[in-house]
Structure 1
Amino acid sequence: MRRSSRILSTAPPEALFVVSALSQYIGAAIAVTVFDEVEPQTVAWFRVIGAAIALLAISPGFHRGWTKRDLIGAGVFGTATALMNLFFYLGIARIDLGKSVAIEFLGPIAVAAAMTRSARNGFALVLAVIGVVTLGGVEIGDNTLGVVFILISSAMWAAYIVFGSKVAQVRSGVAGLGVGLAIGSIVIAPAGAPWSGPVWVSPTLLLLCCATGVFSNAIGYGIDQYVLRRIPIRRFSVLLATLPVTAVFVGWLLLGQTPSGLDLLGIGLVLIGVAVQERDEIVAVPEPS
């Protein structure tokens, strides 16, 4: 555990983002494969539960040292994250994974825009926006409801960034994320629990649903917590532009959702935008005791 913490505290944020993104969308691809047997909102609920259990299992003493303010902050963060997961799964049940993430990225873009202070960062953000809009060029048509779900998820993603940064500074390791997700799982239980019957009687479905939480939340969001301690919210938000790119790749590789030439153009613009942004000084984070 100490070695893992050391790596997460010193590795380049871009490299950590690649690992986080791959893990998140491998989890999403697993989720899509079980949507025919389990309702998306139920898979999202198990995703949050599975992640909370995994994170708290590797956080000894997670229940100690909490103030009322800390718990409220973790609860707001966990609720925003759980709602983001819930509406994201409702969206990707209707729209391709890559396009869904591109539309969802409007939330991080709004946060990055609010934090941008220089011409170079503004240029990087514009390139990322153009790339994301290109990737997200989905025809509304019969997907109106799916787009609405993704837009709600987008707003929750913005809240995830802002509140996640605060939780990351309060607690070392991933205990804050684990406690937050435990609270979030309770909040979205009315949406996920009523259709959970098939999961409880099938070890395979239970394993797959919980695996989405381990890959997408425990690993993906756990890495985010370390990155949020080291770089400003603005840079974090722009780096998130790599996620639509990764989602397109995973959707093509695992789900057969082949990207078009326009999609590849969008990917290129996003990568250029990430590359040209200003680099802030990276702060080494002390290992948790």
Structure 2
Amino acid sequence: MTTLPRLPAPALMLGSVLSIQFGQAIGKQLAGTVGASGAVALRLALASVVLLLLYGPSLPRSRADAVLILGFGTAIAGMNLIYPALVLLPLGLASALQLLGPISLALLTSRRLRDAGCAVLAGGGVWLFHAPQGARFPLVGVLLALAAGASMAAYLLLSKRAGAANSGGGPLALAVTWAALLTLPLGVANQGAELLEPRVLLIGVVVAVVSAVLPYSLELAALRRLPTRTVGVLTSLEPASAGLAGVIILGEHLDLVQWAALACVGAASAGAVVRRKGERRECLTDTAPPSVPREAVGGDRTGQQA
């Protein structure tokens, strides 16, 4: 992960968005084999093993650190409600509904008219996407996706706090481990030894790396350099990448209105990234971790990245 500081923060978010959606497309196939609870259990358990080996974290030193990690991990576990939603909804639709969480976060935390406009545009795209003519979707699936969206908003806030408090990926590894502990018992109870079949484990490793380890690490690095509201709007690229992943991997069909909706959220993301030089400088100083002097923000930040 040492190359992450050299990449622009929006590029990190783009990589995260693409990775997590293509990973979830593979995860939807895995859920068809071992069920949603089994897919979540494998995804988080295997991701926690990889992250623990990668970062070798130490245990929290204070009660505040422990509470932050437990909250962070609980939000990650909640985000995985998207997997039972995927059993009931198309990938692009589930992702669009989940996006309402970050969009709401962008609206609530923004003090710039442009950010609010981008969030509204992304929200309009979400509405277009989940309201195709004559379509009816299970309420349970919609509620699960919305709950995953609320968890995603909490995840963005807590990930930023964890990144500001620690220069490495240790908090992320511990948080994903806690999320795995929360979800593993249900997966094991429902699927048992089926989770240990070699083919299932192999697919689980791919899902864990592509949809958890890589995107979470990229987001942790990006959130150290971007305001949470900007990241919230940048995640509006997820329905577009989800729609693409659904077409390529799952053979799901999108109509013209839905592609127009994805164009709306893509435009909102572009609007969130394009800033004048003065705004970008203000953004960097406003988001520096408390331990970093504000005058050092423009210098070498290698030691502050995941």
TM-score, length-normalised on structure 1? 0.91
In 2, distance between residues paired with 1:205 and 1:148? 28
Q: How does 1:40-79 map to 2 (within 5 A)?
A: 40-60=36-56, 62-63=57-58, 66-79=61-74
What residue identity is the alignment partner of 1:37? T
- Give the CA deviation at 1:65: 6.0
Decide which moves more: 15-24 or 277-286.
277-286
Partner residue of 1:157? Answer: 152
Alignment partners' CA distance in 1, 2:59 and 2:142? 41
How many percent of aligned residue pairs carry the same amino acid? 26
Matches within 5 A, 1:182-201: 182-201=177-196
Aligned to 1:107: 101
Question: Distance between the aligned counterparts of 1:168 and 1:18, measured in 2?
Answer: 18
Contact 1:128-1:273 at 8 Å conserved across structures: yes
Q: Equivalent residue for 2:115?
A: 121
Consecutive aligned runs of 4 or more in structure 1 exceeding 4 Å deviation? none
Which whole-Å CA distance do the structure 1 matches of 2:304 and 2:61 have between them?
A: 16
1:276 aligned residue: 271
Task: Measure the CA separation in 2 of the matches of 1:140 and 1:72.
Answer: 42
**Contact 1:140/1:147 (CA < 8 Å) preserved in 2?**
no
Q: Which of the residues 147, 153, 156 maps onto 2:142? A: 147
| 1:158–1:231 distance in 2 versus 1, CA, 3 Å | same
CA contact (8 A) 1:49 1:210 kept: no
Checking the alignment, whether the CA contact within 8 Å between 1:81 and 1:181 is kept in structure 2 is yes
Q: Give the aligned partner of residue 265 of structure 1.
A: 260
2:42 maps to 1:26: no
Deviation at 1:191, TM superposition (A): 2.4
SS at match of 2:303: coil
Structure 1 residue 18: Cα displacement = 2.2
Q: 1:170 to 1:264 in 2, by over 3 A?
A: same
- Asked if structure 1 preserves the Cα contact closer than 8 Å seen for 2:84 and 2:144, the reply is yes
1:286 lines up with 2:284 in the alignment:
no
| Kept after mapping to 1: 8 A contact 2:45/2:184 | no
By how many angstroms is 1:34 displaced? Answer: 2.2
Deviates more, 1:225-234 or 1:18-27: 18-27
Contact 1:99 1:137 in 2 (8 A): no
Q: CA deviation at 1:142?
A: 5.0
Task: Give the Å deviation of 1:235.
Answer: 0.7
For the pair 1:133 / 2:127, whether they are aligned, the reply is yes
Counterpart code for 1:51: A
Which whole-Å CA distance do the structure 2 matches of 1:73 and 1:192 have between them?
25
Q: For the structure 1 residues 183 and 64, does the alpha-carbon distance in structure 2 shift closer, same or farther, using more than 3 Å as the test?
A: closer
Residues 81 and 260 of structure 1: is their aligned pair in 2 closer, same or farther, counting only changes over 3 Å?
same
Q: CA deviation at 1:229?
A: 0.6
Unaligned runs of 5+ in 2: 285-296
Shift of 1:270: 1.4
Equivalent residue pairs, number: 283
Counterpart CA distance in 2 for 1:267 and 1:65 is: 41
Q: CA deviation at 1:286?
A: 2.7
Contact 1:230 1:285 in 2 (8 A): no
| One-letter amino acid of the counterpart of residue 221, structure 1 | Y
Q: Which of the residues 215, 220, 223 maps onto 1:220?
A: 215
Shift of 1:206: 1.5
Please give the alpha-carbon distance, in whole angstroms, between the structure 1 residues aligned to 2:95 and 2:14: 15
The one of 217, 237, 244 aligned to 2:239: 244
- TM-score w.r.t. the length of structure 2 is 0.86
Alpha-carbon distance between aligned partners in 2 of 1:134 and 1:272, rounded to the nearest angstrom: 14
